[in-house]
Structure 1
Amino acid sequence: MRAIQTEKEYKAICARIEELLAVVGNDTPVTDQNFIELDLLSDLAADYEESKDPLQKPLLTDVIRLRMHERELNQKRLSELLGVSTSRVSEYLTGKTEPTLKVAREISLKLDIDPAVVLGV
């Protein structure tokens, strides 16, 4: 199967995907013609999107801010949770310094952030 070459092809495939999403549901058998077509077109569209705008690794500062928002934590509460000063948390959030391995472990465990993100790998 060939890859999507142009934006026009991509838009046409996205339109077809939308049509198929209206027909295919969670209970649709994987052998159903519409399911198979949706699966193939979705893979093509995802490959095209990745080639045009590859996903960037999330920055630790952004992930920490997201978790703070989700858990309604302020810098003071986060500093208490991690066992560091509020000024140190501020430095992590601005990217001025990176957490030590011990603090990185705490960030991963207590904020439920993937260790690969915390370690930047």
Structure 2
Amino acid sequence: MKNSIYKTESEYEKAMVEIDHLMKKGEANLSDQELATIRQMALSAEAYEKEYYYIEPPKTLEGMIELRMYELKLKQKELAETLGVSETKLSMILNKKQKPDIPFIKAVHEKLSVSAEFILQHI
């Protein structure tokens, strides 16, 4: 099981329990073998997640901004501060009542790490 991609949810869940158990020991307390094991299990778990937990990427700039806000655990007020805009402006852009301007788009690219290619395809 540790050398292959997990085939079932049960195998994946068992691996998550074992990974959690090893991680609780702390990296400094793990043997080289345990470190190798955890790495292999994590890679297999990642492959399983990509295959079975695939989430289609957003199809709009607004959707991508909301996804990044979720991933960064930001509230809309914090996101507005991060992007250097007012909450009102951010809300209007997210609700498609106002088009994003160049400074906003630049901030989305730089502060939220949204690729320029994605931005250009979706504005």
User: Which amino acid in structure 1 is aligned with residue 22 of structure 2?
Assistant: L
Matching of residues 101-112 of structure 1 within 5 Å: 101-109=102-110, 112=111
Checking the alignment, whether the CA contact within 8 Å between 1:105 and 1:115 is kept in structure 2 is no
- Asked if residue 17 in structure 1 is aligned to residue 25 in structure 2, the reply is no
Give structure 1 stretches of 5+ with no counterpart. 81-85
TM-score, L = length of structure 1: 0.62
Q: Cα distance, 1:33 vs. partner? A: 0.7
Aligned length: 108
What is the rounded CA distance, in whole Å, between the counterparts of 2:106 and 2:80 in structure 1? 21
Structure 1 ranges of 4+ moved more than 2 A: 25-29, 55-61, 63-73, 77-80, 88-91, 95-98, 100-103, 106-109
Map of 1:83 onto structure 2: none
What is the rounded CA distance, in whole Å, between the counterparts of 2:120 and 2:53 in structure 1? 20
Q: Cα distance, 1:116 vs. partner? A: 1.2
What is the rounded CA distance, in whole Å, between the counterparts of 1:103 and 1:67 in structure 2? 17
Q: CA RMSD in A?
A: 3.5
Secondary structure (helix, strand or coil) at the match of 1:38 reads: helix
Map of 1:70 onto structure 2: 78
Checking the alignment, whether the CA contact within 8 Å between 2:6 and 2:44 is kept in structure 1 is yes
Secondary structure (helix, strand or coil) at the match of 1:27 reads: helix
What is the rounded CA distance, in whole Å, between the counterparts of 2:120 and 2:75 in structure 1? 17
Quote the sequence identity (%): 20
Checking the alignment, whether the CA contact within 8 Å between 1:61 and 1:94 is kept in structure 2 is no
